[in-house]
Chain A
């Protein structure tokens, strides 16, 4: 009788699902997502330097759009002063008329980098093919 009970004990085994691999994989996914999220959210805007494009490649003044940031709110687009709120509309209009859709951006020294990038982003959103950063 004693022998029979031992035999039944050994056959019972582990009858619960093994959670360890599931937890392991879940934790790994959490770690990978935590690490990869900042990389996935970082992006960039390609720019070229206006002075390095060369004279031959430089389009005429009528073809390219010139944008100058005087301050965060006042921007000059092709010698026309534009408020920041109307920049998208103005850029859309001038880029539609431009053959090369090249935008040359100048910026005042004290303008925060965030405002400068916002203008580059707006130009790209309105269809700028190439963005060049010119000297001050």
Chain B
């Protein structure tokens, strides 16, 4: 009985592994970036702090830039319509106890920040937090 070496058959099917790979990667990127999509892209230099709390995944962000521009999540608003905009978001189903995070620039005057906190309170916010940037020990 002679030994006959079988030649491997050529692969004739489409290799779907790279497609699945890329698709899963896109899913992961979307999952990671989803929370960021709801935050306004106004330029804000958050104040630094050591305290690390109030880190709910779901929150309503109110952004105040140094030049006074305002945004609720990623929608620009004016100070007059701020309370109504927050109230509308809190009135959505499941948002009753949503954490309202005030993302104010560290150079913004306190008077404006206090107006934001007041507007949030008038709109019915039960939980308030002031956003900070984590201070690293030894950092400038």
Contact = CB atoms under 8 A, between A and B. Distances in A.
Contacts of A24: 21, 25
Nearest to A124: B51
Contacts of A28: 25, 28-29
B13 interface: no
B132 A47 contact: no
A107 B110 contact: yes
B50 A125 contact: yes
B130 A10 contact: no
Interface of B: 7, 21, 25, 28-29, 32-33, 35-36, 46-55, 101, 104-111, 113-114, 117-118, 121, 127-134
Given A31-B29, A111-B109, A113-B108, A42 B131 contact: yes
Nearest to B26: A28
B107 A47 contact: no
A21 B48 CA distance: 39
Main secondary structure of the interface of B (DSSP, over half): mixed
A35 B32 contact: yes
Contact of B121 (A45, A52, A120): A52
Contacts of B132: 42-45, 117, 121
A136 interface: yes
A125 B47 CA distance: 16
Q: Which 3 A-B pairs have the closest CB atoms?
A: A114-B106, A109-B111, A44-B54
A45 B48 CA distance: 11
Given A41-B134, A42-B134, A44-B101, A117 B47 contact: yes
B31 to A, nearest CB: 10
A116 B33 CA distance: 30
A11 to B, nearest CB: 9
A109 B50 CA distance: 24
B71 to A, nearest CB: 16
B32 A45 contact: no
A43 B134 contact: yes
Contact of B55 (A35, A44, A118, A125): A44
A136 B36 contact: no
Contact of B113 (A31, A46, A113): A113
A108 B55 CA distance: 28
B111 A116 contact: no
B134 A49 contact: no
B111 A35 contact: no
